[in-house]
Amino acid sequence: MLDRDQDRLLYDGDARREPPIQPLTDGFDDVFYALSWYQAAGIRTLGNVEKVIEPSDMMPMSGLLEKLLTVNDGRESEYVRRRLVEQLDSACDLAYRQFRPRASERVETDEGETWSDVDPDVESNPLMRPAFRQLDQGQAAALIDLWTGFKDREALGRWVRNLSTPTNGEKPDGLLDEIVGNPPLLDALLEQDAETAKVTRYRFGIAVVMPSFLAAARTLNGGERTDSSGATHGAWKS
């Protein structure tokens, strides 16, 4: 269940997800995978990842981000990642304790409802809940769009408007006005190719978008019904 999703986050990765989750213990191939991992960690720790790794720690030149990238592999980087994995164990345990009263798993058999366990290895929903999968997918898609950049101001405006769902209503007030009132940021969001623009978009994603994503992970409640084979039904609530 939740602990299996956390194991994928820390040790095993998850190639089924789009974008794939690269495990923290191995490091990340580039900064986008680091950004995507941090977002995924927010869901799978119910926002508690920031008790160990704050958004500011994920910024370029923070001293930590460089140790998380595989391009800088070495004994020091491996040690830093291993210590983070160990430190995140407490955050994962806290999420587990917080999660139990927030969702229940009902498993249906031919004889009726039972509380039997569902195999987490055949369950594709994070935390075995469709509501959390929807939040995870919405956040991941928003980050992909941000990383790509926007073709015009209308596309950017639609993206900001649509942040209400993946932030569970926690997006910053007046966000679009702040972007439009900051010409260098606006240019970077609309520039799709320049590497310098990608750096700005990454910083924007970490500093502005990610806190709202973490807040959404803390506030969402979800439940689902599954059959005894582990197949997910469409019912969900948030």
Quickly list DSSP for the chain.
Answer: -HHHHHHIIIII-BTTSSSPBPPGGG-BSSHHHHHHHHHHHHHHTTTGGGGTS-GGGGSTTSSSHHHHBGGG-SHHHHHHHHHHHHHHHHHHHHHHHHHGGG--EEEEETTEEE-PPP-GGG--SGGG-HHHHHHHHHHHHHHHHHHH--SSHHHHHHHHHHTTTTTTT-SPTTHHHHHHT-HHHHHHHH-SS-HHHHHHHHHHIIIIIHHHHHHHHHH---EEEEETT-PEEEEEE-
Mean pLDDT of 196-202: 96
Q: Is residue 234 over pLDDT 60?
A: no
**Choice between 54 and 100, residue whose per-residue pLDDT is larger:** 54
Lowest model confidence (mean pLDDT) among 5-14, 69-78, 121-130: 121-130
Residue with tokens 């928003």: 142
Mean pLDDT of 145-163: 97
pLDDT given at position 102: 54
**Residues 6 or more apart from 228 whose CB is under 8 A from it?**
107, 108, 109, 114, 116, 118
pLDDT given at position 72: 76
pLDDT given at position 106: 45
pLDDT given at position 198: 95
Q: Is residue 139 over pLDDT 50?
A: yes
**Choice between 226 and 165, residue whose per-residue pLDDT is larger:** 165
Residue 151 binned pLDDT confidence (cut-offs 50, 70, 90) = very high
Residue 47 binned pLDDT confidence (cut-offs 50, 70, 90) = very high
Q: Which two tokens stand for residue 148?
A: 């790509």
Q: Is residue 33 over pLDDT 50?
A: yes
pLDDT given at position 101: 57
CA distance readout (Å), 144 to 23, 122, 185 = 19, 26, 18
Q: Is residue 203 over pLDDT 70?
A: yes
Please give the backbone phi and psi of residue 217, each rounded to the nearest 5 degrees, phi first. -65, -30
162-178: per-residue pLDDT in tens? 999 999 999 999 999 99
What is the C-alpha separation between 174 and 163, in angstroms, rounded? 12
102-127: per-residue pLDDT in tens? 544 444 445 544 434 544 554 445 55
pLDDT given at position 100: 67
Q: If you average pLDDT over every residue of the chain, what do you get?
A: 84
Rounding to the nearest 10 degrees, give the CA dihedral for residues 209, 178, 157, 169: 50
Report the relative pairing of strands 105-109 and 112-114 from DSSP bridges.
antiparallel
Report the relative pairing of strands 232-237 and 105-109 from DSSP bridges.
unpaired
Q: Is residue 237 over pLDDT 70?
A: no
Residue with tokens 């923070």: 62
- pTM comes to 0.82
